[in-house]
Chain A
Amino acid sequence: MTRSGTMAPEPVIRFAGVAKTYATRRGPIAAVRGVSFTLHPGRVLGIVGQSGSGKSTVASLLVRAEMPTAGAITFRGKDIAELRGRALRDFRRSVQMIFQDPFASLNPRFSVGRAVSEPLLIHGIGDASTRRARTLAALEEAELKPGAAFLDSLPHQLSGGQRQRVAIARALVLDPAVVVADEPVSMLDVSARAGIIALLRKLVRERALALAFITHDLSLVGTICDDVAVMDRGLFVEEGRARDLLASPRHDTTRRLIAAVPVPAPIVVEYPAANASPQERQP
């Protein structure tokens, strides 16, 4: 399969004909039916599709939460299915995930400081003071400033956008090479979305992260992705540079997704001041 990002450096992750079939009581279900792509440092690949298209399965495969039933996934040239021991720990440290629902992805009993330092504890990195310093740095990089003010907060005391930033800090604290973001803004207020998108873009640029951005919302693709792959029923039906694909979609699925993007058409109704009661003027 041809790649659009030919100018990019060596890929960190390569999917080669990857398929995933789940065995169920009613017979096998093919969630992913053979997809190939690469992730490159400093580039964002958008994987777009409707629910049930297999994009979340791709996310699970990327972080090795699931194993492919066919094809191979390589990380820096090594098949991730064969990683063991130290190599597997390196992989776990290098590939991090940001989840859709920041209300569910943070342990309700862990303070922010505990949640963000947990990956460091898991990997036995540093002593208490180094871990604290790295936790603070990660929080500030996720634009929770000052970081120290958030350390003792519990998730239920934060807004949705702040929680997602905590989740991003948790993903950053191990200094990963690859981040998989599965619908990272779909549960957030529109006002919080732009900030999270801008933050992810900044991180990709500054840290040369390889980001897989999984979404059902094509309107987000233009704001962050370099490349896009459109998924339908377990296959990539169309892929290419984000702006080319948005400008001239060729496949029906892509056109449907573009048509589904709500177009802002604000109609401003101005009440004549004399007729307006105070209640009506309130937002």
Chain B
Amino acid sequence: MSRGGVPGFSSRSGRIGLLLFCGFGLAALAADWIAPFDALAIHYDAAHAVVRMQKPGLTHLLGTNYYGRDIFSQVVVGARVSIGVGLLSAAIIVFVGTNIGLVSGYFGGRTDALLMRITDIAFGIPFFPFAILLVALLRPSIWNIVVTISCLLWRSVARVVRSQVLSLRERAFVRAAQVAGASHLRVMYVHIFPNILPMVLLYVSIGISYAVLAEASLSFLGFGDPNMTSWGSMLYDAYVTGSMSRAWWWTLPPGICITLFVVSVFLMARDWEVIANPRLAA
């Protein structure tokens, strides 16, 4: 990895990732200004007929869909839901998982046994059946999708963080802090946490991509928020109207966006390792 440039984004792949991520982020934030039309507005031509399945053109940059809605506007507005759900869910997943793993590994004994059995239960629940059931029970909305994703996906973060803490807590520097009189909280968050930070950052990136994909999958299955457009719900609409093979301009844009966004996060995460590990930075 070369030196110089923005710290942590020194490699070419990292910069590409950052650029893509910022592009998506800006699109999501400024969606109302970028999108030429309301994403849910139905367009009519001069003869008051719905403009269905129009190919990309000057008025409709990416064409229109079966319902006569502008696809470019949908992609831009959909970024807000997809990325918002992804970032929020990832934050909750990593926060919950890291804390459970830290407490479990540090205190050990009964605390560990209890927390890890809860984690085992979370591991035993298959994601999609659980998600579909929960979203169906709670009414489809983006908040419920966030809750569903967060409810289950903290489990692998908790496991991995615990295993790291189990080895770190035996290290002499942890004993040194305890002997010096540091409280449990201080030992956990000041002394141990910085040493699991690379792992936590990795799980932030895995969490974001997993949550974006999970939101897209749930929306594709028809459990998305009916009043909001996301990349997943666009694919769902294309599927239920039987347009997947007929209108490439409808299915490709959301598909490519999902892929590129997930890739951008992974490209950046490779460089976060450098920020988090002082040996690599030196």
Contact = CB atoms under 8 A, between A and B. Distances in A.
Interface of A: 63, 65, 88-89, 92-93, 95-97, 99-101, 104-109, 118-119, 122-123, 154, 156-157, 167, 170, 174
Nearest to B278: A154
Nearest to B279: A156
A65 B179 contact: yes
A63 B179 contact: yes
Contacts, number: 64
A65 to B, nearest CB: 6
B282 A154 contact: yes
A277 B282 CA distance: 41
A88 B178 CA distance: 12
A90 to B, nearest CB: 10
B179 A105 contact: no
Given A109-B278, A119-B180, A154-B279, 4 more contacts: A96-B179, A118-B180, A119-B181, A174-B180
B173 interface: yes
B178 A65 contact: yes
6 contacts: A96-B180, A100-B172, A108-B173, A108-B278, A156-B279, A170-B176
Contact of B172 (A63, A93, A105, A119): A105
A107 to B, nearest CB: 4
A107 B186 CA distance: 14
Contacts of B182: 118, 122
Q: Which of B172, B195, B279, B282 has the most CB of A within 10 A?
A: B172
Contact of B180 (A92, A100, A157): A92
B181 A104 contact: no
Contacts of B270: none
A171 to B, nearest CB: 9
A92 B181 contact: yes
